[in-house]
Amino acid sequence: RIGSATSQSSAVINDRLQELVKLFKERTEKVKEKLTDPDVTSDDETPVPSPSKQAPAEAQPPPPGQEPEAAEAAEDEHYCEMLCCMFKYRPWLDRVKNYQFPSSIDPLTNLMYVLWLFFVVLAWNWNCWLIPVRWAFPYQTPGNIHYWLLMDYLCDLIYLLDIVIFQIRLQFVRGGDIISDKKAMKENYLKSQRFKMDVMCLLPLDFFYFKVGVNPLLRFPRCLKYMAFFEFNNRLEAILSKAYIYRVIRTTAYLLYSLHVNSCLYYWASAYEGLGSTTWVYDGEGNSYIRCYYWAVKTLITIGGLPDPKTLFEIVFQLLNYFTGVFAFSVMIGQMRDVVGAATAGQTYYRSCMDSTIKYMNFYKIPRAVQNRVKTWYEYTWHSQGMLDESELLVQLPDKMRLDIAIDVNYSIVSKVALFQGCDRQMIFDMLKRLRSVVYLPNDYVCKKGEIGREMYIIQAGQVQVLGGADGKTVLVTLKAGSVFGEISLLAAGGGNRRTANVVAHGFANLFILDKKDLNEILVHYPESQKLLRRKAKKMLRNNNKPKDDKGGPGDSIIIPPRPSTPKLFQAALAAAGKVGGKGRLAHLRWKLKELKAMQA
């Protein structure tokens, strides 16, 4: 038993030593790779030590002389399990108590501010929609007046909090700088037009309730907080992916609100003339709001079928309604047309391009099979990307923003290309802006065998197949998204290397292409990276073990062109001089040639 225990411990020690040796080897390889390629991110950084895992209070024995319940209460801790570790966290009530309101708020990017504007707009809509109703219709009675007043003063509280908490903390731009100083933000708000309108909104006209009663018209200044409504529209459209849907809803709400106000005015006119006094006014039967709203719809949309007004007041009121209805309805229709037109602008452009292409192909009598492939390319490109050319979307952006977008989209793929690892990072950034996206249809040839390669391909989506063999149809390998091919041809001399196999798109494939011309224009400014790329290309060619002919066949990828061979006539003259056995200049040249050949070998 003692011998078996000793053998077991030695085996454990040996296993541990082997693991340590393996770890040291891996670390050495990573350090070597880091030295040869500074751009490779290192995983050897010392991790931040996590807090030691402590047992819960229940598992720890209480100290002597202390009750278990008291020990549990004293050692009560909160834990959050995540993966294999446990982290302390405070209860939600403590987090709420210790929460500190931000000293400054960015109105363009802060989602909390957008949420607050939503509540402000709700309070504003309450006043805009219900003040006319309470003024015209008999819905505000002494029995429910306390409910109306409760909602009114709740909206006033939201208005007040918006002034004293949020508006004085909004950042602003002055001279190109973002100002976040408390005093400067407060002074900027107090000097703005927004502050004046906010103060007018909260005019304390409610004190006149004690003299004239609870008249809803005294709360009409609350509707002047329209600037918060327009600001909320701008912020919400900026964060929505389909903002045109909200624009359609908002335009529809404009139309409904105009009908709402007209229905309130019609009931007030009917009450002024006397309910049921003439055939034109409201007769007092049924739901008063629904009946008046129906009349307002028929009037503003000018449907017709309305009773003729009898008195002068009714005639003037009806004429004003007709004029307002024609104007308001035409404005709403025009605005709705603009909203729908802006929402479908891309689709309209796509249809116009496709129709023009089909017209061109029919004029020149292009074969039907080619036309079908062109149509398929248009449809797939539009449905997969939402646009026909990505460069048109980014052309209006500054160069720095285009670079940021290109880094987010393409850098993770390009940084994995072995040929570009170790190069100047700025050179890679310049290269990202030169990449162009191309969509290939199923069975389209990306490149053919024997072609001179002048591009590098990066697969963004889809798959491509490399074909070879005697018949040229055998699938050698299938490359998926993230793969790169054709990178050596970017640095090949002699007009570019020839492709050694056919590459065909297997299904729809979206590829990024980098031209050799674009890379050469970039490498002019990065000579060190150019030398490194040529060394790597030579090394990759040696690793690929490509057959090389002494005469430099046309299918070879030549990094450095070979020395031209000695002319035949000159070789014959040297041979004749050798036969004679002279020791003149020809013999000396022959000896030099032999020396050069030996050095070349």
Is the predicted pLDDT of residue 526 greater than 70, yes or no?
yes
The confidence score (pLDDT) of residue 587 equals 64
Q: What is the DSSP string of 99-148?
A: ----SSB-TTT-HHHHHHHHHHHHHHHHHHHHHHHHHHSTT--TTTHHHH
Q: Is 512 helix (H, G, I), strand (E, B) or coil?
A: strand
- pLDDT tens digits along 311-327: 999 999 989 888 888 88
The confidence score (pLDDT) of residue 96 equals 66
The confidence score (pLDDT) of residue 276 equals 87
Question: Would residue 169 be called left, alpha or beta, if left means φ above 0 and alpha means ψ between -120 and 50 degrees?
Answer: alpha
Alpha carbons 67 and 384: distance in angstroms, whole number = 68
Is the predicted pLDDT of residue 348 greater than 90, yes or no?
no
Alpha carbons 447 and 41: distance in angstroms, whole number = 33
Query: Which pair of structure tokens corresponds to residue 338?
Result: 């603009």
- Candidate from 206-215, 372-381, 394-403 with smallest mean pLDDT: 394-403
Query: Which pair of structure tokens corresponds to residue 282?
Result: 């409201």
Q: Where are the domains of the chain?
A: 99-239, 258-388, 399-545
Residues 6+ apart with CB under 8 A from 441: 373, 376, 377, 380, 505, 508
pLDDT band at 118 (very low <50, low <70, confident <90, very high): very high
- pLDDT tens digits along 570-587: 566 556 555 544 555 666
The confidence score (pLDDT) of residue 51 equals 45
What average pLDDT does this structure show over 147-172?
Answer: 94
Residues 6+ apart with CB under 8 A from 43: 30
Question: Would residue 458 be called left, alpha or beta, if left means φ above 0 and alpha means ψ between -120 and 50 degrees?
Answer: beta
Residues 6+ apart with CB under 8 A from 325: 262, 299, 300, 301, 302
What average pLDDT does this structure show over 285-302?
Answer: 88
Alpha carbons 111 and 235: distance in angstroms, whole number = 9
Of the candidates 45, 40, 43, 42, the one whose C-alpha atom is nearest the C-alpha of residue 428 is 40
**Bridge partners, residue 514, by sequence:** 456
Is the predicted pLDDT of residue 569 greater than 70, yes or no?
no
Is the predicted pLDDT of residue 215 greater than 80, yes or no?
yes
The confidence score (pLDDT) of residue 601 equals 62
pTM of this prediction? Answer: 0.62
Fold for 399-545, please state it. Jelly Rolls (2.60.120)
The mean of the pLDDT values for the chain is 79
The confidence score (pLDDT) of residue 66 equals 47
The CATH code for residues 258-388 is 1.10.287
pLDDT band at 35 (very low <50, low <70, confident <90, very high): low
Is the predicted pLDDT of residue 538 greater than 80, yes or no?
no
Alpha carbons 530 and 160: distance in angstroms, whole number = 65
- pLDDT tens digits along 471-525: 878 888 999 887 888 877 776 655 447 787 889 998 888 888 888 888 888 888 8
Alpha carbons 370 and 378: distance in angstroms, whole number = 13
Of the candidates 451, 448, 452, the one whose C-alpha atom is nearest the C-alpha of residue 496 is 452
Is the predicted pLDDT of residue 12 greater than 50, yes or no?
yes
- Candidate from 124-133, 204-213, 337-346 with smallest mean pLDDT: 337-346
What average pLDDT does this structure show over 280-295?
Answer: 91
Q: What percent of the chain has pLDDT over 70?
A: 77
- Candidate from 15-19, 59-63, 390-394, 440-444 with smallest mean pLDDT: 59-63
